[in-house]
């Protein structure tokens, strides 16, 4: 295929057939596309659901969709149409990677399940994303909000005396996308060594339990059921926003050395030698005694003043920004968070891939595609002789 500038990324030459939609799968395939893979986004006649998830919009396109679909080519295929289904089969035969997030078993009737695809393409890396796995939870719908509630995350989010809250993003969709990309890359390396393809399976619920890290470990290893603590940390204090003279500042003392620096910086060095506060464990046991002493000291200056003082002392601290403030801070730090996907008038501002590679960095070749924008060229490639694969 042609039309886009050639990729020089580490995954250049790999073809990814993307039968996924919404978030986890498209996020994973965008990461692969940023690193050079040729991602062909297969959409049904109605398109990816996120195209219609508005507001907000940019040029009448949902910004949700724009966030996770750059560097891809879109083709519309109606799997109920025999001709389109034949093209989908051909794509699965030519792909290095196929990724899908239909309900378990949902692609079997179309001949696009793992076993059938492997029969026509034994080197394929086939990635299946589900909500709750392929066992007893196979038919449960995989929505991030459900997983946040059912995994226990919402029981940990919010004020101790208030209702449970969801996180501000679809956190487990994103994590499952990351886990899927890691699994795919691992399977590709195995294929390089052995020539064998394999089935990669991820699900939102398992990703959630893994991502709850110390909280799930508290239960499975310690028999403790964590509960909501607002912005407080179960095992560290201070590790939360604290009031200053004119607003809150996040203040962190992750070990005894940091607490000693904090006590000195706020003009209360004796606190570090107080037997109630001189170790992590004792600060946790006596946090309700320590908190007012810290607040009394912090009330003498503004959040901005303390940010400068504590940062100069080498302590982790920071303001609570809006999203706009976060982007501006990244710009001030030289992280260049916004990149243009595509060129010229069609370019779309997107958030930079966070991976930095010294020799083969991510590229931003194509803006998120319109529905079936590349249908003609992809169809031409799929109907050309297989010998042309070397030129794709």
**Residues annotated catalytic, as ranges:** 173
Instruction: For residue 100, report the phi and psi dihedrals to the nearest 5 degrees.
Output: -150, 150
Residues linked to residue 74 through DSSP beta bridges, in sequence order: 41
Task: Return d(Cα 43, Cα 62) in angstroms, integer.
Answer: 16
Q: Which of 336, 335, 332 is nearest to 319 (CA)?
A: 332
Q: Which of 270, 252, 271 is nearest to 313 (CA)?
A: 252
Q: Is 356 helix (H, G, I), strand (E, B) or coil?
A: coil
200's torsion region: left (phi>0), alpha (psi -120 to 50) or beta? beta
Q: What is the DSSP letter of 307?
A: H
Q: Which of 65, 27, 59, 68 is nearest to 46 (CA)?
A: 65
CB 58 within 8 A of CB 210: no
Task: Return d(Cα 83, Cα 87) in angstroms, integer.
Answer: 7
């Amino acid at each position: 295929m042609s039309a886009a500038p050639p990729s020089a990324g580490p995954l250049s030459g790999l073809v990814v057939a993307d039968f996924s939609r919404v978030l986890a799968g498209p996020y994973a395939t965008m990461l692969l596309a940023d690193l050079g893979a040729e991602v062909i986004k297969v959409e049904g006649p109605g398109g990816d659901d996120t195209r219609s998830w508005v507001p907000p919009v940019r040029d009448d396109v949902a910004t949700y969709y724009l966030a996770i679909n750059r560097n891809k080519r879109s083709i519309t295929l109606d799997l109920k149409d025999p001709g389109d289904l034949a093209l989908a089969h051909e794509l699965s035969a030519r792909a290095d990677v196929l990724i899908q997030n239909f309900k378990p078993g949902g692609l079997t009737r179309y001949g696009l399940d793992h076993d059938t695809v492997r029969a026509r393409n034994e080197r394929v890396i086939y990635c299946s994303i589900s909500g709750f796995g392929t066992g007893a939870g196979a038919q449960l719908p995989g929505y991030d909000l459900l997983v946040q509630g059912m995994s226990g995350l919402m029981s940990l989010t919010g004020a101790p005396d208030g209702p449970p809250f969801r996180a501000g993003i679809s956190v487990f969709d994103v994590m499952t996308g990351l886990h899927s990309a890691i699994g795919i890359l691992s399977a590709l390396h195995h294929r390089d060594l052995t020539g064998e393809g394999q089935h990669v399976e991820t699900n939102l619920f398992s990703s959630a339990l893994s991502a709850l890290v110390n909280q799930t470990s508290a239960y499975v290893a310690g028999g403790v059921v964590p509960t909501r603590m607002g912005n407080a940390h179960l095992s560290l204090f201070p590790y939360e926003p604290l009031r200053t003279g004119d607003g809150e500042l996040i203040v962190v003392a992750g070990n005894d050395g940091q607490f000693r620096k904090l006590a000195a910086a706020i003009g209360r060095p004796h606190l570090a030698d107080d037997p109630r506060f001189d170790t992590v464990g004792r600060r946790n046991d006596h946090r309700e005694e320590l908190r007012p002493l810290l607040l009394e000291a912090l009330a003498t200056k503004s959040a901005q003043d303390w940010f400068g003082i504590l940062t100069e002392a080498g302590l982790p601290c920071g303001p609570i920004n809006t999203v706009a403030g976060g982007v501006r801070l990244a710009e001030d730090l030289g992280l260049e968070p916004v990149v243009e996907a595509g060129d010229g008038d069609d370019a779309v501002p997107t958030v930079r891939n966070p991976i930095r590679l010294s020799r083969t960095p991510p590229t931003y070749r194509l803006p998120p595609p319109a529905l079936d924008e590349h249908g003609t060229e992809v169809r031409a490639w799929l109907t050309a002789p297989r010998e042309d694969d070397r030129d794709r």
